[in-house]
Chains A and B, each alone.
Chain A
């Protein structure tokens, strides 16, 4: 089916749940898959699932998942004809896209020129302005030194937002409410941006108070067809990292969706964009929307769009990369029901969301009707400390928003991960919160809720005490609570003891 550029074997230049997710679609399409992995990821799920897997270097991303030459070299040696970059790492790096094309590989993403036009956020803002799409006031080019940053911030008026010029995923973003905090915030933003994107440049925007973050998914083929797939509401964030996303947005009606969709398609077309992309907007209380940036990749939260449109976005990306036409018009795109995604990160939500790497000793994922689990983990898997904390994405669909919320609450209650701390308890509390249920959303909502969340309300205190006391009792070797299973399977053994060399 993927004829024109004939993709038969795809290398996935990524790790974790997104690599697993891409492999799944490839398998459904009959494409062979090639995984790459760092020394820290030999036991990662994408390595286990791919048809082939090759090491690309030490754990540090700069030496492995960001090593352009090495990845291209592996793709050629393995006989891959295309590369999917996932999100993060090299996904929005035009140098990588160019290196793929130069090596005769199809890059599953936009043309480098379109990526370049959008990857510099300040250039993208200038382009949107030319298209008469409103933008948040801010510097029209990167700010180089602290004095210039201070001048710009003063002109815009505090609070201001520092953003990475090459940014994405909230990395390198800092809210600054007074000039005294500016130098430290600039330093951290530059360090974070430098580590994440190999480019520490930043720019400054005026801060819009209590906005909603709403983004439009677009698909563009190489034949000039552009459609949008509706919006995603991503207002539940902490430290500018999304935690819960949903589609459709409860704030957006048909008329507003049509206006935002049209603006998004125009920005994409003006940039010569091809493939899947996302146009992000800030929306204020009066439903005014402002162009923020275009993400030239598949988004982490793409599954909610898949759930309401019925389209497999990775399949669409591969079709577009292979030169096929979209094959449907805007009026044929229908949104059905409501979908929610929760990000399950290895973080301790009751200790400032500190990263919590470690071995997952116990894991039971949520299942049941209309529940989807996009995960990179399994029981016995060790979450490495070198990469971001996303372990799994839990996605549900419901006939309407209320049904989806109830389903998500049910599914989160089923999800059990032991060994690392996760965001699940906070996700449960947000889902139960009156403001979330009533869709009174803003990007400030989660930070406001967090101080009210307690690890425990005392309702299950006796149960917890009994569980702890019995665990201690068993440890003292009085008696095993369950007799050892007569012939544990190799998977279980592996999970308990860690991985070893293959048994004969």
Chain B
């Protein structure tokens, strides 16, 4: 079974075979024998050619966050065929626009910008009050605010689009 495994912008093909906790994993020219014990709690024991690792795997929105030995990787895993279909049709669309989403539930306590405003990187956009803290959101890059979808006082959930900068 082949997977396309993507970390930041680089994708590698990984082949996995095996069952019952014992697997053979091939990345490029390298082949590993892996004894893996995955738990529903997301804490996995991996014996890779005898070296013992514990990796924490957490489901995020469309990818895994894997923590191992103090390092943290955001990894997207797709079946190879699905990856090929998806990437073949990819256009350059959406490049340069920032969609600011709420990373946690909370209440919008202040919105500093309006549609049509131009912002520079680091400019304050809005403030969300969550877990007793005022969390200020700043623009990652310069641009023009095309949409503001929330107002002060509004409650937001994770993933809600707050505003869009082109």
Q: Point out residues on A near B: beta carbons under 8 Å.
A: 61, 171, 184, 187-188, 191-192, 195-196, 346, 348, 350-352, 354-357, 361-364, 379, 385-389, 412-413, 416-419, 421, 424-425, 428-429, 455-474, 476, 478-479, 481-482, 495-496
Contact = CB atoms under 8 A, between A and B. Distances in A.
Contact of B39 (A348, A351, A482): A482
Given A462-B30, A467-B46, A468-B5, 12 more contacts: A357-B104, A386-B131, A416-B43, A419-B58, A425-B71, A455-B74, A457-B71, A466-B25, A467-B55, A468-B66, A471-B38, A472-B77
A459 B105 CA distance: 34
B105 to A, nearest CB: 5
A235 to B, nearest CB: 21
B17 to A, nearest CB: 9
Interface of B: 1, 3, 5, 7, 12, 14, 16, 19-21, 23, 25, 27, 30, 32, 34, 36-44, 46, 48, 53-58, 64-75, 77, 79, 103-106, 109-110, 112, 124, 127, 129-136
A496 B41 CA distance: 8
A461 B73 contact: yes
B38 A469 contact: no
Contact of A464 (B38, B66, B105): B66
B38 A482 contact: yes
Contacts of B57: 418, 467-468, 471
A474 B130 CA distance: 36
A379 B40 CA distance: 11
A195 B135 CA distance: 14
A346 B133 CA distance: 13
A354 B34 contact: no
B33 to A, nearest CB: 11
A61, A357, A362, A417 pick with most chain B CB within 10 angstroms: A362
Contact of B21 (A364, A455, A465, A482): A482
A355 B156 CA distance: 14
A416 B56 contact: yes
B70, B110, B135 pick with most chain A CB within 10 angstroms: B70
Contacts of B66: 464, 467-468
Given A187-B110, A362-B43, A195 B132 contact: yes
A464 B133 contact: no
B16 A473 contact: yes
A470 B23 contact: yes
Main SS class of interface, B: strand
Nearest 3 CB-CB pairings of A with B: A362-B41, A418-B42, A467-B55
A468 B1 contact: no
A58 B104 CA distance: 20
B39, B46, B68, B74 pick with most chain A CB within 10 angstroms: B68
Contacts of B134: 188, 191-192
Contacts, number: 198
A388 B38 contact: no
B42, B67, B135 pick with most chain A CB within 10 angstroms: B67
Contact of A455 (B3, B14, B71, B130): B71
A388 B75 contact: no
A351 B103 contact: yes
A301 B118 CA distance: 44
B45 to A, nearest CB: 10
A495 B43 CA distance: 14
B37 A482 contact: yes
A357 B124 CA distance: 24
Contacts of A462: 27, 30, 32
Contact of B7 (A346, A461, A479, A496): A461
Contacts of A496: 40
28 contacts: A191-B134, A354-B135, A355-B131, A361-B41, A362-B43, A364-B43, A385-B104, A387-B132, A419-B42, A456-B71, A460-B53, A460-B68, A460-B69, A461-B73, A463-B48, A464-B66, A465-B7, A465-B12, A465-B14, A467-B44, A468-B57, A470-B38, A470-B44, A472-B64, A473-B1, A473-B3, A481-B36, A482-B39
Given A416-B56, A464-B73, A188 B127 contact: yes
A458 to B, nearest CB: 8
Contacts of B38: 470-471, 474, 481-482
B1 A478 contact: yes
A355 B25 contact: no
Contacts of A354: 103-104, 135
A428 B44 CA distance: 20
A470 B21 CA distance: 10
B136 A188 contact: yes
A356 B104 contact: yes
Contacts of B42: 361-362, 418-419
A228 to B, nearest CB: 30
B15 to A, nearest CB: 9
A388 B130 CA distance: 9
Contacts of A379: 41
Contacts of B133: 192, 355, 388-389
A465 B41 CA distance: 19
